[in-house]
């Protein structure tokens, strides 16, 4: 007999912090299938648009790679216009039959703007330069907001908040990958 509801993939915490002329996105490396950790060093944060954009994803890996590829194409079509490229991507994501089935969320940033993207058509610029997605996103978001007024720089905040999320969320580990851009 097969299970009608196979175990679902739980993956990730992605955190973005903009502070002190720098934007940083960090992501953990854990991928879980049901109650099992199947990978501990997945890379969910990457550079796009020849290094001028950074992004991180939460959700199904193949879906996220598809979205990254589509975003790259939109960034080529609208160079230097991250917001426009993201709006065009989310339009396609909502209306295209194939894309609409993709299950992922993304955080992307360039030197000027950071955005949260979803298949529901959301293109949101976070308040106070802090946003998070994924299973441990709320834990990382709360920690980063609490640390935002401290003396810590953006990367230190990301690393500490991700460590806090890893201590709380069973779907998040402390194997963090960080990418950053200076404004």
2, 12, 83, 172: the active-site residue: 12
Known catalytic residue at 36: no
- The three-state DSSP-derived secondary structure of the chain is CCCCCCCCEEECEEEEEEECCEEEEEECCCEEECCEEEECCCCCEEEEHHHCEEEEEEECHHHHHHHHHHHHHHHHHCCCCHHHHHHHHHHHHHHCCCHHHCCEEEEEECCCCEEEEECCCCEECCHHHEEEEECCHHHHHHHHHHHCCCCCCHHHHHHHHHHHHHHHCCCCCCCCEEEEEEC
Residues labelled as active-site residues: 12
């Amino acid at each position: 007999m097969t299970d009608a509801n196979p175990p679902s993939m739980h993956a990730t915490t992605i955190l973005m912090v903009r502070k002190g002329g720098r934007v940083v996105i960090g992501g953990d490396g854990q991928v879980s299938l049901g109650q099992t950790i199947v990978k501990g060093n997945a890379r969910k944060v990457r550079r796009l648009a020849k290094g001028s954009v950074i992004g991180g994803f939460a959700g199904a890996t193949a879906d996220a790679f598809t979205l990254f590829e589509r975003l790259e194409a939109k960034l080529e079509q609208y160079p230097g216009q991250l917001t426009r490229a993201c709006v065009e991507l989310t339009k396609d994501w909502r209306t295209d039959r194939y894309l609409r089935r993709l299950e992922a969320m993304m955080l992307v940033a360039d030197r000027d703007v950071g955005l949260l993207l979803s298949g529901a058509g959301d293109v949101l610029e976070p308040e106070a330069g802090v946003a998070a997605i994924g299973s441990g996103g709320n834990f990382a978001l709360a920690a980063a907001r609490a640390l935002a007024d401290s003396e810590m720089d953006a990367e230190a905040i990301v690393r500490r908040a991700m460590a806090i999320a890893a201590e709380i969320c069973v779907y998040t580990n402390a194997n963090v990958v960080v990418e950053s851009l200076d404004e």
